[in-house]
Amino acid sequence: MPPSPPLTLIVAATPKNGIGKNGALPWPMLKKEMAYFARVTKRLPNSPDQTKGGDGDDGTTSKSTTPPRPRRNAVIMGRKTWASIPPRFRPLKDRTNIVISSQPRSALPGLNDTSEESDDVIVSSSILDALRDLERGVEAGRVPALGRAFVIGGARVYEDALGLECARSVLLTRLGREFECDTFFPELEGGERGWVRRSKGELEEFVGEEVVEGGLVEEGVGFEFQLWEREG
């Protein structure tokens, strides 16, 4: 199997790293934050365009006759996160959805069949299995080639992902105040994990868009977009 692709965790958390309460978000709906999540997890990373022609040795321009293979980002989530997505938005559009679950595919809401995974939803038993299943799906032509792989929750899946060397980035939306939570994101700052916060410019380069200096305020809640990366 080829090396695992880099994983990016994307999460919104309170100052004390709270991320959920009773299986839902404890803060008001933040439409701008949700729109940021959708844009970033859909946007493909920049890569060299291998379909452009180049100058040949004879001075002519050569062009590839092979059409570019479509690419798509993947979002990896636990069963409870999948179930928390409103049915009309499930699976998340324009992304390969991967659900981590010990239950069979037929037991998951919205997947009440025993068919093989489509190019929209893959069900796997762990993150490592998810990456293997994704690779097999790409090789078999069932799944578009991978752009970026995002881990979107919940707490156990985040913790498992952070234990992998291929987890390289965390896109953190830091809320400006606390809410009562029963689910928490692991601590990044000050631990032994080797995570460092990057600059606003590095964040903008990573996500492919400008971010507002100092953050945003919506529904009386301030929040700031951040990028953390693993050193070494």
Domains plus CATH for the chain?
Answer: 7-43+70-230 (3.40.430.10)
Residue % of the chain over a pLDDT of 70: 83
pLDDT, tens digit, 9 for 90 and up, residues 18-52: 999 998 999 999 999 999 999 999 999 975 333 33
pLDDT tens-place string over residues 11-22 = 999 999 999 999
Which tokens hold the place of 41?
A: 């997890």
**pLDDT per residue over 203-225, tens digit each?**
999 999 999 999 999 999 999 99
Indicate the Cα dihedral angle 50, 54, 60, 65, nearest 10°.
Answer: 0
Structure-block tokens of residue 164: 């992998």
172: three-class secondary structure by DSSP: strand
pTM of the model: 0.87
Checking DSSP bridges between strand 54-55 and strand 61-62, what pairing results, if any? antiparallel
Q: 112: which 2 tokens?
A: 């009440």
Q: What CA–CA distance (Å, rounded) separates 154 from 78?
A: 6
Q: Give residue 65's pLDDT.
A: 55
